Chain A
Amino acid sequence: MGFSSMDDLVNEITNNGKFIRNDWNKITGAAAYTAGRWFEMSSLAGTPVANAFSGTALAWQSTDEASGFGLYHGGDVSPDTKHVLNVSAVTAVATGVPAQLMLVDLQGYWPGISNNTTLAQTLTGTPTLRYTNGAGCRLFWAQRTTAGATAQNIAVSYSNTVPTSGRTLPVTVAMTASAIVPHISHSGTAANNYGPFLPLASGDTGVSTVASVTFSAANTGTGALCLARPLLTLPITTAAVAAERDLLNQLPSLPEVKDGACLVWLYFAGAATAANTNFYGAVEFGWG
């Protein structure tokens, strides 16, 4: 399905009412953010409600629209397909810019992974994904309790889209010492930082599941390993000025939002971001 023409799009969202707009807002909380790092926003206060990353430690936790902390986008529409038409965001805080927001469909996560062991931590559960074999799905680590000051690298054994198991990160990936919540703590400006997503092995186009996580050194702290499909990015350049993007006229056009998608934002701090910086905006969806 989808839209066969501009006429069809206009007809679907006007005459047939296949359209929804949803406003959102998030506030960063008590900690300032360091420039050059990525942060996940689902756990921040605001609307939708904060994601507590609940679940049993090391066990896969699926997320979907009903999880509550993803942007509401109007429920399932199959056999139609739903698409993002327009997206906007703004901050009233001067240090909230420049920034980059990335909207992702969070497939789920493995919570309660400890930073404080060098043993391989076996992850359990079989992800049910909205993307066949995880095509286009990426991994990121969301820090859930503040990390200690010890430097450590992260290693992951994952299955790609084939699925071939035992795939590993192709490079050394450094976590950030003393990473705060909700830092994607392998992102930043240190030599072995990568963000927002963990790099994949040669030839891989996605991740279908993860078998284990291993750290090179023990550090305090815990986190969640998240599996998400990026949908779009939105730069915010100026405080108090709305960043807007028309996704009908830009490539890749009209990103598809799967039934059940759990839509959450990731945030890139282009400058040191003060505590309690607010962000708000809207996403418009149409389907047909």
Chain B
Amino acid sequence: MPRSFLSYIAQRAVQCVLVILIGITITFFIPRLSPTDPVETAVNQAVMVGQFSHPDAVREMKEALIRLYGLDGTLLQQYVRFWKGLLAGDLGPSLSSFPKPVMTLIRGSLPWTAGLLLTTAVISWTLGNLLGSLAGYYKNQRWASIVGIIAMALHPIPYYIMAFVLVVLLAYVVPIFPIGGAIDIGLKPAFSLVYLSSLLRHAILPSLSLLLVGVGGWFLGMRTLVTNVIAEDYVTYAKYAGVRDRVIMYQYVMRNALLPQITGLAMQLGLIFNGALITEYVFSYPGLGYLAYNAIFAGDYSLIMGVAVFSIVGVSIAVLLIDLAYPLFDPRVKYQ
């Protein structure tokens, strides 16, 4: 293996680790600087249940919770404790769902988020880029204009509105799909047609909402890129040289135009770990978005950290992989 290649990998890996370290450190401190305090939140909830709580009782409860949540000691001590736990694979207990381990909560939501967002991200990227390439390359064709108009019309619609339109149309006016949820009530996970079809039926509307908005974005981006690339000299030369149209389109134009889109895809895949809050809310679909949202409002430092760690590591690794794989897509990029 050439030395330059090894050095390139090492350099990128160190960068990646540094980004992760800094990202996690910032995420550790920021929630602790916010005025939302998990102990206050817990005490407020407890006090709300009953009548007047004597100040001494409130103080006693607070002290007990601080000890229980492991929030005693200085910030530095907490920071060291956090890293020790993290390196042992333990994100600690959630403070708003104490003492449930953060990993357990994330494990419950992550498959839904990954299933929905990974699928829709890949499909919308593929479809958007394919259609965008064709529309850009055959820009004088009537169908290309029509697809362009549709994409232009769909893309600026706020996602929330799009999601609601789909719910109203396809779950209320013509109730083909369920109004919400991830699976029929009472259905137990099983590798059966009933379960799988229920899973699919519930996933169609949230997926469709993400696809319609996502495809439009990729389409418009790719069409612009292709329009620029076909004006390049080497494309004109290839045409004059009698290279087949399909080859020019896939090998010369699309491959070159695709490079920034690949970076975009990598970033999007990394961000999957943030979840899709609005999708989850509108379609009552489980996922990491709602978990993170509640954690922020409850000042649940551990859960915020848990979701953030996944997101930071996800984006960093995605960027690293793209950096490493880039020369495969574009031979002009060298491992230097």
A binds B: no
Which A positions have Cβ atoms within 8 angstroms of B?
Answer: none
